Amino acid sequence: MTPEIAPASRHLPPAMPLATGMPGWVWVASVGAIGQGRAAGDVRLPVRHEGVLRRVAAGDRVACFAPDALGGSCFLAVGHVLPGGRYVEHDAAGREWACLPVAYLPSRPVPLAAVLDGALAAMGWGLSLPVGLMRLDGDSLDAIVSAVGGHDPDQTGMAFPPVRIASLEDAD
């Protein structure tokens, strides 16, 4: 895979809201991987899992879910995919990440229980989730956006460095 140049601007103007009612994606990753992605303005998966990124289009909504957040599983951020296509980045440990540019809204962590309803419970949320991207219906994503969005990103209350959990060891 040939690395592409990352887009220069990945920040969403504060007045621009996310579209409602449309299905989107949940990015399930460690707190560390989500923190790196938010700092870089992207969604990132290990290169060996980049195939799923081909299904994600510019304008799609993304909610970030970390099962290893302090205090329990949390949704950490919401945003939308920007035009610009996939590109590859390398972290300090030399790992390759397949990335898509994302504009994140100001947000705060919200515990899973705060947005868990019948639809999410039926999907097995909080029991066992695969690391990566998974499709989510518009109503469930709207509930997550409503709970997480519109908050100061510098007031996240997250502790870094993140706790490493065994099931995510090669994803973060």
C-alpha angle 77-82-84 in degrees, rounded to nearest 5: 135
Q: pLDDT tens digits, residue range 113-139? A: 777 665 555 556 655 677 888 898 888
In angstroms, the CA 139 to CA 86 distance is: 27
Residue % of the chain over a pLDDT of 90: 24
113 burial level (CB within 10 Å; 0-12, 13-18, 19+)? exposed
pLDDT of residue 123: 59
24-151 is classed CATH 3.10.590.10? yes
In angstroms, the CA 36 to CA 42 distance is: 8
pLDDT of residue 120: 58
Report whether pLDDT(93) > 50. Answer: yes
pLDDT of residue 61: 92
Task: Indicate yes or no: pTM above 0.85.
Answer: no
Q: pLDDT tens digits, residue range 43-89? A: 999 898 888 898 999 999 999 998 887 777 888 999 999 998 899 99
In angstroms, the CA 16 to CA 37 distance is: 20
Q: pLDDT tens digits, residue range 136-147? A: 888 888 888 888
